């Protein structure tokens, strides 16, 4: 009998996010510097003849384990491409908040594809896995390897992995889910529009933390302003993060509502997280390292 397989589904964090335009088909072209946190969900696969999913963990309450879940959708999509697979029952320990801009569902789906690839002797570089990942969701391809890189287009264009210095961060979610579609509606780009955008040469900023943070300061998350209109709680949250002792940069990740604050060392970030968790017990607060 094949032993169970386990993987971590690490949180995806958008350090930058430029909206380059909106295509005639309605999709938005993006360019984002994506990194991954040391915190995330855990996904286990117990090989067997029947596909299934159970969900637990502190953020698992109320989540559906039916065919609409991205874990099962990813497994079904891979089987549709390759034919019969070895699969089984998944168990998801959910720690990341949902609808939060840090790719929790996408990371889980990518985790399912990694486990199925391992069980079926597939390489993560296999073009079938990349194709299936994009079908499941725009953020799933970058989550497959969970390595720092530039993601562009609608998620299908991935640059080579980047060697960034570790960034000490606090991730904060105020418990307000923000729908990505609502944020893009608020952005209100017309069909077929394009925006001027000068790409950043990130390879020139990866030698040290100060250089990287300086480069990040010169960039933005173009979805931050529309997201603060959809969820007004975000503006005072970002202001509060920026005023934390030692904060070098405060920004929203993805389409929200999770925000991040960057610090010079783990002690300062841990102290900031402790303060926030004490003052706001209803928030999800996590000190972590981004790579």
Measure the CA angle with vertex 79, ends 75 and 81; round to 5°: 120
Among 29, 41, 139, 222, which one carries the catalytic annotation?
139
Is 12 tagged catalytic?
yes
Q: Distance (Å, rounded) from C-alpha 182 to C-alpha 191?
A: 16
Is 139 tagged catalytic?
yes
Q: What is the dihedral of CA 212, 138, 255, 29, to 10 degrees?
A: 80
Residue 271: is the preceding peptide bond cis (ω within 30°)? no
The answer to whether the beta carbons of residues 64 and 29 sit under 8 Å apart is no
Query: What is the three-class DSSP state of 231?
Result: coil
Between helix 104-120 and helix 70-82 the angle, nearest 10°, is 40
Among 12, 59, 94, 286, which one carries the catalytic annotation?
12
Residues identified as active-site: 12, 139
């Amino acid at each position: 009998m094949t032993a169970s397989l386990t993987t971590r589904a690490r949180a995806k964090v958008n350090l930058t996010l430029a909206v380059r335009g909106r295509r005639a088909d309605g999709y938005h072209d993006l360019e984002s510097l994506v990194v991954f946190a040391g915190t995330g969900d855990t996904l286990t696969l117990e090989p067997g003849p029947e596909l299934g999913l159970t969900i637990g963990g502190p953020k698992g309450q109320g989540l559906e384990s039916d065919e609409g879940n991205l874990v099962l959708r990813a497994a079904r999509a891979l089987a549709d491409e390759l034919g019969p697979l070895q699969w089984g029952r998944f168990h998801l320990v959910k720690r990341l908040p949902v609808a939060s801009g840090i790719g929790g569902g996408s990371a889980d789906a990518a985790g399912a594809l990694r486990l199925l690839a391992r069980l079926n002797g597939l390489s993560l570089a296999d073009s079938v896995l990349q194709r299936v990942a994009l079908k499941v969701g725009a953020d799933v391809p970058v989550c497959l390897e969970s390595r720092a890189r530039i993601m562009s287009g609608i998620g299908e264009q991935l640059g080579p992995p980047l060697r960034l210095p570790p960034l000490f961060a606090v991730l904060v979610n105020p418990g307000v889910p923000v729908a990505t579609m609502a944020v893009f509606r608020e952005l209100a780009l017309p069909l077929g529009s394009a925006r001027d955008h000068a790409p950043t040469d990130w390879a020139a900023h990866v030698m040290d933390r100060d250089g990287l943070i300086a480069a990040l300061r010169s960039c933005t998350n173009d979805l931050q302003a529309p997201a603060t209109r959809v969820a007004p709680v975000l503006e005072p949250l970002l202001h509060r993060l920026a005023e934390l002792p030692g904060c070098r940069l405060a920004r929203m990740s993805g389409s929200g509502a999770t925000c991040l604050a960057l610090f010079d060392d783990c002690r300062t970030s841990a102290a900031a997280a402790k303060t926030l968790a004490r003052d706001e017990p209803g928030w999800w607060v996590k000190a972590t390292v981004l790579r």
